[in-house]
Amino acid sequence: MKPVLQFHRRKVYHRAAAAARARCAAIPAMPHDVSWETLDWSALDRMRGGFLSPGSPNGRGWTSISDVANYDFTFAQRIGWKWDAVLAELAARGWTPPSGEILDWGCGSGVAARRVIEWLGPGLFKRADLFDRSPLALEFAVRRTRELLPDAEVCALRSDPATSGNSIGLLVISHVLNELDPPSRSRLLDLARRAGAVLWVEPGSRAESRDLSAMRDELRNDFTVVAPCPHQSACGMLAPENEPHWCHFRAPVPKGVLAHGGWVRFGQQAGIDLRSLPYSFLVLERTGVRETTPGLPASGCARVLAGCRFYKGYARLITCRAGGVEDLELQKRTAPRHFKALNRSESGLFWRIEAADKRILSIDALAPR
């Protein structure tokens, strides 16, 4: 088999991040702008307590617009880096949503919607709707989004759009599953079914990832699964034999973060490992929205998930393809170049794998068609 194009997510990510930073530099200041010199560390401590006690009366711990601004400068940026990784993959694969309207449900400070708008460019959007149960977060998110979309209609939705019957263009969802009870999840599924496309990012923890896999299977009959899956079949991760595993990936941390004094202090104070950015995600496009969905992987290919284990001379790879999820052994001598790339998280998105008796016989990186 001839070598084929290999995507390097880290390089694509840094290009996308640099473009986003350049666009952000032109955004005018708003009240409660935050810098490392003005950051309210005590507010971050209080908010962290709210994150650890999701049932508390203050929810995420926001008591003022200033709190939301401090959150957006720190905690939300880590969410934004996960979105950067997802959007860089979609850009590499040539997929963009088919609609110019966006709804960010459970928007928080609005970081997810802003990342999507920066990725696609403000000219694509004629309307942006945002909804969050926190009026403070909603106010902050709307103001920030209006700075990016001065010529578009940006609306703060005071009632939950999940309870209406209106159709949606692009639905953006980020880090909400651990806050929803079963009835709320059911309403969110109904909302997703009315969307032309769905971009959904959650933490890379086992619970949220497996919940997102279940959501995927609830929606797959109405949508084409664009990512992360290399197939349209039921999620193999939910099979009983794969109970120990979950579908997740790792986003690259921007250059300079690990050596930045402010971020180092934030990581220590918040109890966060800055090197680790696990995430799970789901990208859907409604079936029939356009004749051909771009960026889909070749039939029969596999995807290598996070959670692989590397040892001296061999690795155990968690692979997903239409036939299910498998834990396969890859000997370094079988494919030394790919072995090294996989170990450094510089691997291609999709693979052609031949295996027998849980051992990989050959492996080649593939490009999406």
- Of 17-21, 271-275, 320-324, least confident by mean pLDDT is 17-21
CATH code where residue 186 lies: 3.40.50.150
Is residue 291 situated within a structural domain? no
Burial class (CB in 10 A: 0-12, 13-18, 19+), 241: exposed
Which tokens belong to 151? 């010529």
- Domain holding 26, by residue range, is 9-286
Q: Please, which pLDDT band fits residue 100 given cuts at 50, 70 and 90?
A: confident
Beta-carbon neighbour count of residue 215 at 10 Å? Answer: 22
Mean of per-residue pLDDT scores for the chain: 88
Directed axis angle between helix 135-148 and helix 65-73, to 10°? 60
Is residue 182 situated within a structural domain? yes
Q: Please, which pLDDT band fits residue 346 given cuts at 50, 70 and 90?
A: low
Same domain, 181 and 311: no
What are 234-268's pLDDT values in tens digits? 999 999 999 999 999 999 999 999 999 999 999 99
> Domain total for the chain?
2
pLDDT at 21 exceeding the cut of 80: no
Domain stops at, among 260, 286, 312: 286
Helix or strand or coil: residue 286? Answer: strand
Same domain, 26 and 129: yes
Beta bridge partners of 128: 102, 154
Pairwise CA distance, residues 18 & 241, whole Å: 42
Looking at residue 347, its pLDDT comes to 57
Looking at residue 368, its pLDDT comes to 54
Is residue 293 situated within a structural domain? no
Residue indicated by tokens 């959670």: 307
What are 111-130's pLDDT values in tens digits? 999 999 999 998 889 999 99
pLDDT at 14 exceeding the cut of 50: no
Same domain, 274 and 180: yes
Same domain, 43 and 177: yes
**In terms of Cα–Cα distance, which of 117, 111, 224, 129 is closest to 167?**
129
Look up the pTM and report it: 0.89
**In terms of Cα–Cα distance, which of 305, 357, 307, 306 is closest to 331?**
357
**In terms of Cα–Cα distance, which of 62, 61, 71 is closest to 40?**
71
Same domain, 32 and 76: yes
Q: Please, which pLDDT band fits residue 177 given cuts at 50, 70 and 90?
A: very high
Helix or strand or coil: residue 273? Answer: coil
160's CB contacts (< 8 A; 6+ apart) are 131, 187
Same domain, 22 and 156: yes
Strands 101-105 and 324-331 turn out to be: unpaired
Same domain, 281 and 343: no
Same domain, 98 and 158: yes
